[in-house]
């Protein structure tokens, strides 16, 4: 992508508000006033053929609607709708956009959204679909906006690609390879805690979940330092590369390759932060394993000792995500992080409550949540804060351990899971939990990269 001062032979995309008229030189070149033939209503497009008057075959006029009503969120939706059908190089006209959304934001959002819209899951054995080239026609300085949009779009698509990869080709070992390659490419410090290291640490949560798999568990730790001696925050992502449910076997495990979307999102977040050289210090932590069944697999009513030393009675082996996350939360705090945020496809209860529109948000500190709420607004993503009262935690009391990993029956499952995780957050540590079970993928087909923008905005 590049900045151009004059149109070339690529198809022209011309966004236009209701009150605007098409530039006179375009009307003169085409030989008639085309304002009466194009639809300027929001999200409407009109294809006007140039009939040899330009080197490109047509101009695609894209209606922006009323200038006072266009928001960045609406612009994102518009670009996704337009760009998903583009199959050839295009050029975006921007010089005439001197009001409404700031031109720098307009360009940045259009580039990012174009890249996201163009993404398709790659069929195994076939070539990856190439992103159609997009040039920006502008007399102003927009190179930085183009680059930022590219970094965000490619970072989100990177996380989507990891999540979309079938679980036999995206095992815990493959996740480790991806993390190491990313760290080396961006000069990020990394540590890979293998099974022996986890056993030495006595990380019983992740090790118990891993017992049913022949592929060992890992804890991926990336350390991004770009703000001097400031404390490191931590972003934690659930990395279950496939979830059978364990002995509490799922009736339908289709879509469970997406149970590592939280971990994939963390790698996407780290890629974006490093790409934009965000002035922040942050750990990216991913506990990664499969949850399968064999003769060694953990069972209901087993009692495990987590990394924190707290004991947990296993009610459901299908409530495994919280068992690997609790060890990651403990480890992040041992590294010195006092501000945490985690992303996890954690509960079907959150899907039932919020569907695929809102991400469930939990927080143990009101001010910390309000900061994240502002980040979501800036990122044009939707989250809904759900309750985390003590009464929910009371429902997982155990006679055999400090507490249980599940209530064992339907009812407030998302809040109970969040309360479980909160039990491993030390006093004074600020923590946010994002339950992305409903928003991370499109009903078992196609990862979305939900909440990556919000977390980047929050951290940077």
CA 422-449-70 angle, to 5 degrees, is 110
Kindly name the residue from 322, 404, 430, 453 that is annotated as catalytic. Answer: 322
Rounded CA-CA distance 134/114 in Å is: 8
**Known catalytic residue: 322?**
yes
Rounded CA-CA distance 358/333 in Å is: 28
422-449 per-residue burial string, b: 16 or more CB within 10 A, e: under 16: bbbbeeebbbbbbbbbbbbbeeeeebbb
For residue 154, how many C-alpha atoms fall within 13 Å in the half-sphere facing its CB? 15
Any idea which residue has 């390659």 for tokens? Answer: 181
**Known catalytic residue: 296?**
no
| 449, 336 contact by CB (below 8 A) | no
228-261 per-residue burial string, b: 16 or more CB within 10 A, e: under 16: eeeebbbbbbbbbbbbbbbbbeeeebebbbbbbb
Contacts of 136 (CB under 8 A, 6+ apart): 1, 2, 3, 4, 91, 92, 94, 107, 111, 142, 146
For the record, the structure tokens of 257 come out as 């390759």
Kindly name the residue from 77, 84, 250, 385 that is annotated as catalytic. Answer: 250
| 198, 219 contact by CB (below 8 A) | yes
Rounded CA-CA distance 265/449 in Å is: 6
Q: Mapped to the 3 state alphabet, what secondary structure does 210-229 carry?
A: HCCCCCCCEEEEEEEECCCC
Residue 384's alpha-carbon distances to 34, 75, 455, in angstroms, are: 45, 22, 15
Closest among 394, 205, 159 to 314, alpha carbons compared: 205
Q: Supply the residues annotated as catalytic.
A: 250, 322
């Amino acid at each position: 992508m590049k900045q151009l001062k004059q149109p070339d032979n690529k198809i022209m995309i011309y966004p236009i508000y209701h009150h605007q008229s098409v530039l006179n030189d375009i009307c003169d070149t085409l030989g008639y006033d085309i304002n009466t033939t194009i639809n300027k209503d929001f999200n409407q497009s009109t294809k006007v053929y140039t009939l040899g008057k330009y080197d490109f075959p047509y101009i695609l006029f894209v209606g922006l609607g009323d200038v006072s009503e266009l928001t960045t969120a609406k612009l994102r939706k518009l670009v996704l709708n337009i760009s998903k059908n583009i199959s050839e190089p295009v050029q975006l006209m921007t010089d005439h956009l001197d009001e409404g959304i700031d031109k720098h934001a307009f360009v940045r959002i259009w580039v990012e959204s174009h890249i996201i819209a163009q993404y398709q899951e790659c069929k195994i054995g076939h070539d990856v679909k190439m992103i159609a080239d997009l040039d920006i026609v502008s007399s102003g300085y927009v190179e930085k906006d183009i680059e930022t949009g590219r970094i965000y779009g490619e970072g989100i698509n990177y996380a989507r690609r990891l999540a979309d990869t079938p679980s036999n080709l995206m095992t815990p070992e493959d996740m480790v390879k991806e993390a190491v390659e990313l760290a080396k490419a961006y000069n990020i410090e990394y540590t890979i805690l293998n099974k022996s290291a986890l056993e030495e640490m006595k990380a019983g949560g992740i090790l118990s979940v891993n017992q049913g798999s022949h592929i060992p568990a890992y804890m991926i730790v990336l350390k991004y330092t770009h703000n001097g001696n400031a404390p490191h925050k931590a972003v934690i992502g659930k990395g279950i590369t496939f979830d059978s449910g364990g002995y509490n076997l799922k009736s339908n495990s289709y879509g469970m390759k997406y149970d590592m979307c939280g971990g994939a999102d963390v790698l996407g977040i780290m890629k974006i932060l490093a790409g934009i050289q965000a002035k922040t210090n942050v750990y990216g932590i991913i506990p990664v394993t499969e949850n399968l069944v064999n003769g060694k697999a953990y069972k209901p009513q087993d009692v495990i000792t987590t990394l924190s030393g707290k004991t947990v009675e296993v009610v459901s082996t299908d409530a495994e995500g919280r068992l690997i996350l609790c060890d990651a939360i403990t480890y992040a705090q041992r590294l010195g992080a006092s501000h945490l945020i985690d992303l996890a496809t954690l509960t079907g209860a959150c899907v039932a409550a919020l569907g695929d529109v809102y991400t469930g948000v939990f927080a143990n500190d009101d001010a910390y949540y309000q900061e994240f709420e502002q980040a979501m607004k800036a990122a044009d993503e939707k989250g809904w804060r759900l309750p985390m009262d003590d009464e929910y935690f009371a429902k997982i009391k155990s006679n055999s351990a400090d507490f249980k990993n599940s209530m064992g029956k339907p009812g407030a499952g998302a809040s109970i899971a969040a309360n479980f995780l909160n039990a491993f957050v030390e006093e004074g540590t600020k923590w946010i939990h994002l339950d992305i079970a409903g928003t991370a993928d499109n009903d078992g087909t196609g990862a979305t990269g939900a909440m990556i923008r919000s977390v980047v905005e929050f951290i940077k």
